Amino acid sequence: SVCPCVRARQLPPGRVPPLPPRRFVAGGRCESAARLDGKAAVITGANTGIGKETARELARRGARVIIACRDTAKGEAAASEIRAETGNPQVLVKKLDLADTKSIREFADSFLAEEKELHILINNAGVMLCPYSKTADGFEMHLGVNHLGHFLLTFLLLERLKQSAPARIINVSSLGHHGGRIRFHDLNGEKSYNRGLAYCHSKLANVLFTRELARRLQGTKVTANALHPGSVYTELVRHSVAMTWLWRILSFFLKTPWEGAQTSVYCAVAEELESVSGQYFRWVQADGMMYCGRKPCWLRKRALLSFFIKKGLCKRLVQLMPGRLKVTNTRALSLP
């Protein structure tokens, strides 16, 4: 059944209702009026785009919001804008480079030393269509930033989330996960690389990680859900000149960042989702169980690329369900 959040409501001050042809493109809106006073939230990549709009909405509801981003100057500008608009002084900026595990650990150490609670973690930051490159630790950039960086960040903050329960982990994935595959024999794309497929692979990893994380967190009152924000007019395609121009031409048919943030906000605040975990959301509603691809192909293969939580990143592959899994390369992706 469709959740109540898709009902029409009055837009926030300054928001113009979409024209009739755009209403379908805009998708649903978060209807929850829940307040977040006394709650703390970390949002990665919240200096621009969907993350910035998500931070604005959580701040408007009274949350203490930590903008975790690589470009702190841009982050401070966004934080100042949000503080001025919402009247909430508790919007802070901390440096976080998801392409560098040292930076991730430094962020986590600083956060844990200064903040006693964490109720909402939104893994929002991401890269798309990057030319082939690697992170500071030697991982392919899409996999390293979109999945492994957020995996490590989640692991480092997990105990604080459990202590602050009920708490929520929200992973911003993409409908592109349908085109993804976990290429066990070439995780870093050294044998074959396609920038579009590399993005899809990383988004599939987000979904699989969310599913396994939700299973492991059962009984802790910490939930984990993934979502597709829609096709949104943001800076995400900046690494592709062709896609940048295409995005400009098709901008009327794309969501605005505010519209794209609605599903993230819904997953973060909706009261009816307090015990919902392991789900995939789009159009501001649950899209059923997390089947990956047009058919549940990854469930048929009964395999999940899961990184054991031990000293950072994965130590070996695990299976979700009984059955055989042929893997050509099971070497651990260990941290240096």
Which CATH architecture describes the domain 32-284? Answer: 3-Layer(aba) Sandwich (3.40)
State mean pLDDT over 246-272: 86
* Alpha-helical runs (H) found in the chain: 23-26, 49-60, 72-86, 101-114, 141-142, 150-163, 195-216, 241-249, 257-260, 262-269, 297-300
The two tokens of residue 109 are 């150490």
The residues that are catalytic are: 199
Query: How many residues belong to the chain?
Result: 336
Whether the predicted model's global pTM rises above the 0.85 cut: no
Residue pair 197/132 in contact (Cβ under 8 Å)? The answer is: no
| Residue 286 banded pLDDT, cuts 50, 70, 90 | low
Q: Are 302 and 322 in contact (CB under 8 A)?
A: yes
In the chain, count H helices and then E strands: 11, 8
d(CA 71, CA 27): 30
Nearest Cα residue to 160 out of 95, 114, 123? 114
CB 233 within 8 A of CB 255: yes
Q: What is the pLDDT of residue 287?
A: 58
pLDDT (average), residues 59-81: 97
User: Phi and psi (nearest 5°) for 209?
Assistant: -60, -45
More confident residue, 11 or 210: 210
Instruction: Give the pLDDT confidence score for residue 295 in this predicted structure.
Output: 34
Backbone φ, ψ for residue 17 (5° rounding) = -60, 140
pLDDT higher than 90, residue 69: yes
What is the rounded CA–CA span in Å between residue 300 and residue 281? Answer: 22
Which pLDDT belongs to residue 243? Answer: 67
Q: With contact defined as beta carbons under 8 Å apart, do 202 and 182 qualify? A: no
Q: Where are the domains of the chain?
A: 1-28+290-329, 32-284
Q: Mind listing the pLDDT tens digit for each residue in 174-219?
A: 988 988 999 989 999 999 999 889 999 999 999 999 999 999 999 9
d(CA 284, CA 269): 12
* Tokens (6 digits) for 69: 């981003």
Maximum Cα–Cα distance for the chain, whole Å? Answer: 56
| pLDDT score for 28 | 77
pLDDT > 60? residue 322 = no
Tell me the backbone φ, ψ of residue 22, rounded to 5 degrees: -90, -10
Extract the tokens encoding 178. 């349908």
Report the Cα 204 to chain-centroid distance in Å.
12
